[in-house]
Amino acid sequence: MTLTGHSLIAGRTVAGNGKTTTGFNPATNEALEPAYTLVTEEQLTTATRAAADAFASFSTLDPDTHAAFLESIADNIEAIGEELITRAGQETGLPAARLQGERARTTGQLRLFAAVVRQGDHRGVRIDPAIPDRAPLPRADIRQRQVPLGPVAVFGASNFPLAFSTAGGDTASALAAGCPVVFKAHNAHPGTSELVGHAVTKAVKDHGLHPGVFSLIYGPGSSIGQALVADPAIKAVGFTGSQSAGIALMRTAANRPEPIPVYAEMSSLNPVFVFDGALSGDAASIDALAAAYVTAVTGSSGQLCTSPGLLFAPAGEAGDKLAAAVGRAVAACAGQTMLTEGIAGSWNTGTEALSGAAGVELIGQGTPGPTKNAPAPAIFGTQVRDFVSNEVLHQEIFGAASLVIRYTGTEDLIEAASRIEGQLTASLHLTEQDYATAAPLIPVLEQKVGRIIVNGWPTGVEVGHAMVHGGPFPATSDSRTTSVGTLAIHRFLRPVAYQNLPQELLPASLQDENPWHLNRRIDGNVLPAEEKAGARA
């Protein structure tokens, strides 16, 4: 399709009345056509008001219609074809294979949420039937369900132009919850956002939904982004990005007359802990461990929120062999094009600060890539005493860089883990002989991370029912939630109880006849949808 360079507001293509911006090819730093017009705050209000108007009808859709809408978005994204992969590659420098996988993840999670909507367990139906003859006081009929919060503002992420962007996880989970979405496109990949925005808009129209269910806007994050969060029509925020930007949005949301939740995924170092047993094999096994680590550090040029920024290796001969193998592995790597010139510049600043810190040495470095903004990946080394005492070594470097930290025992690991900030993940590489040594570390990590991994790497984030992609601050703004997996839908829901309402006034999910065939908890006991749920068990 021909890109318009304009926002999509409640089903209409709208030229912004503000300035313009363009995407850039990070491999060449050349501007990409078309230029994108930026909306003003007055135009933004058109989108948020439309979302508010759409809420009543969208939040009460029947499960089949609602699920079919989500599936149509997935179908429409796939129908764009190679045009989407080509444009995303031009705007991000990411290879086609990575983007094809990301497209599959995007459509897959939309279909997964469609299945969640059809099943309906996220509605959390609980019924405590009346007990009029209970002594000393009768019990009222009390029924509870989860209801959508209202319109949600979603911000596109720089590093995932599809899976955490226009129709990505935050948008998919908000729409699945029954919340209209006003999406703020990331200005680094505007064309990709527009292509997917049209796919969502078409699904809204084809299913006869209120056009305000979805809007896509372009504008500066420092002004339009802040105005979007401050808008009284917005009831929650989904964000993936830098810690500074996330905190700025959190402050705006907290300072509103009506504060709202911000679900921000921000920074993470994702520490890896290697135990002696993992290094007890032959040289080939140590080389394989080192190669896997370097692959996790350098994949997608290290621009993943789950890239391992820290690796704790034991002191002694085995740890020396691992460090040497890591140096050889990273020396064989070439730099990959980073997402933007600014991100590449921040990587350079971060690695310069790390390399200049006391007690830090360079373990190994690759070669720069053939394009612009493709710095040579680097891995540094230090001792646990220096890590514990120097905050510079705790700073995230977004890109292909990591720090190997040498330790002498479990006490060192417990102290180091207790000093780190909240993280998305922690990984343990061990064998059965290490179980007793590793056991004391697990409770510490439970307080620090959202996902604990054994003999694996954090960069693969499965989209499923049990996944947690979250963690204590500053990994996320709310450690009780996840931005990946079906549990993400609960960020945009809240409980409402209905006491002694007649059947005629109850929502469908709470009626005795159970017309939506939901699983429900009756008197504390789960009753499958097939069973009659109206009477007291």
Q: How confident is the model at residue 460, as a pLDDT? A: 87
Cα-flanking dihedrals φ and ψ of residue 375, to 5°?
A: -70, 155
Q: How far is CA 348 from the centre of its chain?
A: 25
The single residue of 179, 265, 333, 396 carrying the catalytic annotation is 265
Query: 409 CB contacts (<8 Å, ≥6 apart)?
Result: none
What are the structure tokens assigned to 180, written together?
């209209």
Whether 305 is a known active-site residue: answer yes
CA–CA separation, 528 and 533 (whole Å): 8
- C-alpha distances in Å from residue 366, one per residue of 4, 94, 115, 401, 455: 41, 19, 45, 11, 26
The pLDDT of residue 70: 98
Cα gap 361→373, rounded to integer Å = 24
CA dihedral sign, ordered 468, 474, 478, 480: positive
41 tagged catalytic: no
Hey, what are 274's tokens? 């290697």
| β-bridge pairing 520-522 and 378-383 | unpaired
Q: Give the separation between CA 510 and CA 493, rounded to whole angstroms.
A: 16
Q: Spell out the residues 6+ positions from residue 480 whose beta carbon is closer than 8 angstroms to its own.
A: 470
Report cis status (omega within 30 of 0) of the bond before 63: no
pLDDT at 222: 85
Listed in sequence order, the residues at least 6 apart from 418 whose beta carbon sits closer than 8 Å to its beta carbon are 444, 448
Residue-level pLDDT at 384: 97
Structure tokens at 50: 């439309």
Residue 487's pLDDT is what?
Answer: 97
How high is the pLDDT of residue 531?
62
3-state secondary structure of 12: strand
Residues 366/335, Cβ–Cβ less than 8 Å: yes
Cα separation, 289 vs 180, in Å, equals 45
The Cα 385–Cα 419 span in angstroms is 12
Q: Strand 361-365: give its sheet, edge to edge.
A: 361-365, 378-383, 401-407, 310-314, 272-274, 423-429, 449-454
Q: Supply the pLDDT for residue 534.
A: 46
DSSP-assigned states of every residue in 281-296: S-HHHHHHHHHHHHHH
Q: Is the peptide bond before 148 cis (omega within 30 degrees of 0)?
A: no
Closest CA to 343 of 322, 383, 385, 372: 372
Q: What is the CATH number of domain 272-454?
A: 3.40.309.10
| Secondary structure string (H, E, C) spanning 81-127 | CHHHHHHHHHHHCCCHHHHHHHHHHHHHHHHHHHHHHHHCHHHCCEE
Residue 445 near residue 426 (C-beta atoms within 8 A)? yes
Assess contact for 455 and 429: CB atoms under 8 A: yes
CATH of segment(s) 11-21+41-133+146-266+483-490? 3.40.605.10
Token pair recorded at residue 79: 């129908």
Q: What is the pLDDT of residue 530?
A: 73
From CA 499, how far away is CA 240, in angstroms rounded? 39
Residue by residue, pLDDT tens for the chain (537 residues) are: 899 999 999 999 999 999 999 999 999 999 999 999 999 999 999 999 999 999 999 999 999 999 999 999 999 999 999 999 999 999 999 999 999 999 999 999 999 999 999 999 999 999 999 999 999 999 999 999 999 999 999 999 999 999 999 999 999 999 999 999 999 999 999 999 999 999 999 999 999 999 999 999 999 988 999 999 999 999 999 999 999 999 999 999 999 999 999 999 999 999 999 999 999 999 999 999 999 999 999 999 999 999 999 999 999 999 999 999 999 999 999 999 999 999 999 999 999 999 999 999 999 999 999 999 999 999 999 999 999 999 999 999 999 999 999 999 999 999 999 999 999 999 999 999 999 999 999 999 999 999 999 999 999 899 999 999 999 999 999 999 999 999 999 999 999 999 999 999 999 999 999 999 999 999 999 988 876 444 333
Question: In this structure, what token pair is assigned to residue 420?
Answer: 């780190």
Query: CA 2 to CA 346: how far, in whole Å?
Result: 34
Dist. CA 5–CA 34, nearest whole Å: 6
Per-domain boundaries in the chain: 11-21+41-133+146-266+483-490, 272-454
From the list 91, 179, 305, 333, the catalytic residue is 305
Residue 470, C-beta contacts closer than 8 angstroms, at least 6 positions apart: 265, 424, 450, 476, 478, 479, 480, 481, 482, 483
HEC profile of 152-216: EEEECCCCCCCCCCCCCHHHHHHHHHCCCEEEECCCCCHHHHHHHHHHHHHHHHHCCCCHHHEEE
C-alpha distance from residue 260 to each of 216, 229, 266, 298, 469 (Å): 21, 9, 18, 37, 21
